[in-house]
Chain A
């Protein structure tokens, strides 16, 4: 690949957090609240979610299953099911106010300004259409190219995502490709119109570890080359450590902590983040039992009052039952915890 020809405007990986904060972020989710209507009542699945992704930045969104990661992604893409409604907050991508757009306007944004890759490369491609055509389709839709031109562009994109013999492979059907190759095709589809924002919803979960590493490398190199922003959703903290510049930790429909990737691992301010990190098995220390977090994730029907983590939290104090906000701890960090400052001070003191 011709990484040398990368545009100079693309920021280098690992951009200084202050510099990223100085310029207007590309994706800004501000106080997003999403409700799902069930037969009996309305359930707030997301409440007061704040995420910012700078230009060329990779932000990891981590959380357990059911914490609201995918609903957040779907809200940004405008792909929420009919039963869901955005009842508060706003979402901005570039200069587009996504949360205020009509369905038709959203459709023209999808694929052009923002694209998404999914967890299952096996089922995300249409089995009866050639992979080349499925890439070309997006090019034809958004750039009005003719089929010949679009197919040539498809082969080019397939080459860019590291598919060998791309011109010939473009005529293959999805079942003729391996899982890793299919995920590369999905990435090529997402990259077809060089979107500003790429949302990756657990793109490597269905792949084995070596392929996983290749796909992650590919995504980083595409970011370096084209300078797009990536919101990377995963429950795998190892992947986050490798990929992300900044991390948002999600718990029970809220962002509980946001920090540069290094700080998340060295000095987690929120007790949930800390316990989450402790439950990762380590290669260095031999343990008989893995650490677990007592209790279970609350269901959206019955989120606890105040801090949603307080029933499971070892640091729980009286104030934790009172509602609290997503508070800025320092220019680069935010947390939703009454005791975050205290915990951070303690960590700094001990180190």
Chain B
């Protein structure tokens, strides 16, 4: 029975979704950029011209040229290679944060929205408390408290991001819960968890997908900010935030480090945002037929 639902869902979405996707400029450009970033991250070990962590004190602050396509940094490390590997770090963190926040946020949001009662009070008041803090400040506090490292960054960003997903999920469940087909399912003796998974989840999944794809841009940005501030992923692992910080110090004399890294960061964020916008247009039945 577990194999049935996805194949049925796929058939529903598949019919004219691809056609409309191809006609949507945001979705097409966004997905192209995202695809490139993902490929770069996966293929970084094979396409990077140099070892991103190898220090070469004989070639510091080399300008872009034939040996080093995008130049080198203050320790003589190849900027291009570091940008490519930096994409890997960014995506791993963004993916992990997304996995954690979607799981926690969707599950808690559905429980709160469907069952209500004390569970809802507990979950939603927790959400409110977290929302009361400015997102980035809270992430910085948590990261600072837990010490540095990749796992810390994932924990800090997840803590900040799940409440948004939970709140969105709860509000979607609240409206779908009132639909007659939910009553009909209850009337035919379907247990609560199956109603949640089979009847509610497929009906609320598109806004969550949209939220998630836009969210990736924000998460990458936040991760870069933490690294920029020195409380994220640590040297020598290449991160875009850390590279921009290093590049900023010598922006006037050697702008290439900060410039190219910022371009990579900006382009990636724009890519995910465009994909998110496109998906919102494609998945929202109200905007769909325009």
Tell me if A142 is interfacial: C-beta within 8 Å of chain B.
Answer: yes
Report whether A79 and B187 are in contact in the complex, using a CB–CB cutoff of 8 Å. Answer: yes
Report whether B203 and A127 are in contact in the complex, using a CB–CB cutoff of 8 Å. Answer: yes
The interface-forming segment of B3-11, B87-95, B133-141, B150-158 is: B3-11
Closest CB pairs A-B (n = 10):
A111-B189, A111-B188, A110-B189, A123-B180, A128-B202, A126-B181, A124-B180, A124-B184, A116-B187, A138-B188
Report whether B8 and A130 are in contact in the complex, using a CB–CB cutoff of 8 Å. Answer: yes
Report whether B184 and A186 are in contact in the complex, using a CB–CB cutoff of 8 Å. Answer: yes
Return chain A residues, CB-CB under 8 Å to B5. Answer: 129, 133
From A111, A112, A128, contact of B203 by CB (8 A):
A128
Report whether B12 and A77 are in contact in the complex, using a CB–CB cutoff of 8 Å. Answer: no
Return chain B residues, CB-CB under 8 Å to A115. Answer: 187-188
From B4, B186, B189, B202, contact of A108 by CB (8 A):
B189
Of all chain A residues, the one with the shortest Cβ separation from B199 is A126
CA distance A133 to B194 in the complex (A): 13
Report whether B184 and A141 are in contact in the complex, using a CB–CB cutoff of 8 Å. Answer: no
CA distance A181 to B175 in the complex (A): 26
Contact with B along A278-318 (1 / 0, CB 8 A): 00000000000000000000000000000000000000000
Return chain B residues, CB-CB under 8 Å to A138. Answer: 188-190
Report whether A147 and B187 are in contact in the complex, using a CB–CB cutoff of 8 Å. Answer: no
Return chain A residues, CB-CB under 8 Å to B191. Answer: 107, 141
Report whether B189 and A142 are in contact in the complex, using a CB–CB cutoff of 8 Å. Answer: yes
Report whether B187 and A133 are in contact in the complex, using a CB–CB cutoff of 8 Å. Answer: no
Report whether A120 and B180 are in contact in the complex, using a CB–CB cutoff of 8 Å. Answer: yes
B1-30 residues with Cβ-Cβ distance < 8 A to A are: 1, 3-5, 8-9, 11-12
Tell me if A251 is interfacial: C-beta within 8 Å of chain B.
Answer: no
CA distance A111 to B3 in the complex (A): 23
26 contacts between A and B (CB under 8 A): A107-B190, A109-B189, A110-B186, A110-B187, A116-B184, A118-B180, A123-B180, A124-B180, A124-B183, A124-B184, A125-B184, A126-B181, A126-B198, A126-B202, A129-B198, A129-B199, A130-B11, A133-B5, A137-B190, A138-B190, A141-B194, A147-B1, A147-B4, A173-B12, A186-B184, A189-B184
Known contacts A123-B179, A147-B1, A147-B3; A128/B187 CB under 8 A: no
Of all chain A residues, the one with the shortest Cβ separation from B188 is A111
Contact with A along B186-217 (1 / 0, CB 8 A): 11111100100011001100000000000000
Report whether B185 and A126 are in contact in the complex, using a CB–CB cutoff of 8 Å. Answer: yes
From B3, B188, B189, B202, contact of A129 by CB (8 A):
B202
Report whether B1 and A146 are in contact in the complex, using a CB–CB cutoff of 8 Å. Answer: yes
| Minimum C-beta distance from B27 to chain A (A) | 21
Return chain B residues, CB-CB under 8 Å to A146. Answer: 1
Return chain A residues, CB-CB under 8 Å to B199. Answer: 126, 129
What is B's interface to A at a CB cutoff of 8 Å?
A: 1, 3-5, 8-9, 11-12, 179-181, 183-191, 194, 198-199, 202-203
Of all chain B residues, the one with the shortest Cβ separation from A190 is B188
| Minimum C-beta distance from A168 to chain B (A) | 13
Report whether B184 and A112 are in contact in the complex, using a CB–CB cutoff of 8 Å. Answer: no
What is A's interface to B at a CB cutoff of 8 Å?
A: 77, 79, 107-112, 115-116, 118, 120, 123-130, 133, 137-138, 140-142, 146-147, 171, 173, 186, 189-190, 192
Return chain A residues, CB-CB under 8 Å to B3. Answer: 147
Report whether A123 and B4 are in contact in the complex, using a CB–CB cutoff of 8 Å. Answer: no
Return chain B residues, CB-CB under 8 Å to A123. Answer: 179-181
Given contacts A129-B199, A186-B184, 19 further A-B contacts (CB under 8 A): A110-B186, A110-B188, A116-B187, A118-B184, A123-B180, A124-B183, A126-B185, A126-B199, A128-B9, A128-B12, A128-B202, A129-B8, A133-B5, A133-B8, A137-B188, A137-B190, A138-B189, A141-B190, A147-B3
| Minimum C-beta distance from B119 to chain A (A) | 14
Report whether B186 and A79 are in contact in the complex, using a CB–CB cutoff of 8 Å. Answer: yes
Return chain A residues, CB-CB under 8 Å to B185. Answer: 126, 137
Report whether A141 and B189 are in contact in the complex, using a CB–CB cutoff of 8 Å. Answer: yes
